[in-house]
Amino acid sequence: MTITDEQEHEAGLRDWARGMTTLVAATELLIRTGFAQAWRPWVHYDEQRQRPWIAFDEIPDLIGAKSGGEQRLLTIAASLGGSVKIILGDEIAGLDRQRTELVSIALIHAAGFTESTSDFVFEDDQPKRVTVPPLASWPQV
């Protein structure tokens, strides 16, 4: 796959995930950690819609040969993007610093806090709408 093909593949995955914060977060997590390439067994291609997609629920059955940290990251992504049940504390404890940062941002994204939003604060017992910054942003690549 050339750089352009890889970029198009990633754009297709992002387009597929768009609209559901948990799916976007899980997809972005796999893209940024190198686990969303077209050759991965959990990445499929929808011929009808002409775009790739990720079968998150397949991931746990396909990661046996991965390192412990890779398995933890992939299991967290599978939970965010699919219906895989996990104990987050068990999974997060064995991640390295870089993966922990990306998982943290994915969780923040899944909760909807990676964009500036408005919120209410009280001043003199009166509600006032204010703009609050995002809790975190994906690192620039």
* Residue 91 parent element (H or E): helix 88-92
Please give the single-letter amino acid code of residue 139. P
pLDDT in tens, 80-120: 999 999 999 999 998 999 999 999 999 999 999 988 888 88
- Quick one: pLDDT at residue 33? 97
Closest CA to 25 of 82, 90, 93: 82
Closest CA to 10 of 28, 22, 25, 23: 28
Of residues 120 and 56, more confidence is placed in 56
DSSP class of 33: T
Q: Give me the residues paired with residue 59 across strands.
A: none
pLDDT in tens, 113-126: 988 888 888 988 99
Percent of the chain with pLDDT over 70: 97
